[in-house]
A = this chain, B = another copy of it.
Amino acid sequence: MKETNIYETDELVSQYCDFQYGDEYFGVMNFAKACAQKAIEYSKSTRQKRALDLGCATGRASFELARSFDHVDGIDYSQAFIDAAAELQKNGRIGYAQNDEGAIKKRKKVSINDSGFWEAGSKVHFSQGDACALVPEFTQYDLIMATNLIDRLYQPQLFLKNIHERINEKGILVLTSPYTWKEEYTAKEFWVGGYVDENGREVSTLEGLTKLLEANFELIATQNVPFVIRETARKFQHTISQMSVWKKR
């Protein structure tokens, strides 16, 4: 098994390797693992054959889902993320550079060879793709999970309106997001919520999600799921995302 450090130049890939496979900070559980565990739990009442992890980044949640599902598709818009996930799948390990202080970086390696999920990894298929324009093959899922995705899509409403077509009857859709809507990612007319409407009423994202999804889904649970992303040895993003769980009618 060849060991590479090819991602040292890509700061975001390194940050996400750390986020998905590295240490925990401030006592907050690994987010990808926590989300996958919750999604597995919420989908227990249905079949657990096919799962889709949309916005899978470096793949941790996809691997975790493969502990319970027969087949998992992990899709991300970033080819660099998919390359990292695929390298972990192939070699069971990856090297990356962790920002420490200023320009000082620490070489880190994570190995998943000893983890329960590495064997399960063969059930995962990673590919680059656009959540707003998925090819037709990605369909018939018992679970679709999209963690911290919707507020980074250019067309989240389109995505949400059509996602039911890819989920089996009684299947589960798990969304998590801190609802950090920004015009640099999503034109304001496409925000799902987080705006004041023409009557001066505040529309929350959960309300917007409900409007877009209720024709095809029942909202069965919401809960807060915290996560911490390490930027340097001393600086962290500490965020409380909202998980909403939807069951297809």
Q: Which residue of B lies closest to A229 (CB)?
A: B238
Known: A235-B237, A238-B228. A204 touches B101 (CB 8 A): yes
Task: Provide the bound-state CA to CA distance between A196 and B232, in Å.
Answer: 16
Q: Mark A146-169, 1 if CB is under 8 A from B, else 0.
A: 000000000000000000000000
Contacts of A104 in B (CB 8 A): 194-196, 202, 204
A102 lies within 8 A of chain B by Cβ: yes
A49 lies within 8 A of chain B by Cβ: no
A111 lies within 8 A of chain B by Cβ: no
Task: Provide the bound-state CA to CA distance between A13 and B234, in Å.
Answer: 23
A188 lies within 8 A of chain B by Cβ: yes
Interface residues of A (CB under 8 A from B): 26, 101-104, 178-181, 188, 191, 193-196, 202, 204-205, 228, 231-232, 234-242
A101-B204, A235-B240 known, 17 other contacts, Cβ within 8 Å: A101-B181, A101-B205, A102-B180, A102-B181, A102-B193, A102-B205, A104-B194, A178-B234, A178-B235, A179-B232, A180-B231, A180-B232, A180-B235, A228-B238, A234-B240, A235-B237, A236-B237
